[in-house]
Chains A and B, each alone.
Chain A
Amino acid sequence: MNWGSWSNFFAMGGRGFYVWGAYLITLICIVAELGLLARHKRTLRQRLTQMLRLNKQS
């Protein structure tokens, strides 16, 4: 497959908005899922370590 130039590639035969729009939203969804998961991991670990520390003190 030869696009000739990068501008042809981004234009997607004049349908760039639809093709790249679909890909961009997919990318956002994946990044959002990974971001939420990472945040969940961080807060959960913080909460559980804190709990553990409190349990040891008492």
Chain B
Amino acid sequence: MSETTAPRSPSAISRPVSEALLNEKWDRCLSNLLVKSTLGLGFGVVFSVLLFKRRAWPAYLGAGFGAGRAYEECNFNLKQAARDLKKPSA
């Protein structure tokens, strides 16, 4: 984490430096995973309390859905970036 933050500081002034592109994407993916997994977890807890008499598995399922969604988004972003990289090079 310390490595990634270090380069970010100088580039924060202007646009991100070329060598920090991947790190940035990684950061977004992780944050996205956290948010969505927590969202899913929260929906599962609510559902377990309301519907399933305080059982554990709806909370996990919800967290799993959220994590899955974040992953998918991150994957898409990376591939898109790779495609963009190819186009100018090509």
Bound together: no
Binding site for A on B (CB under 8 A): none
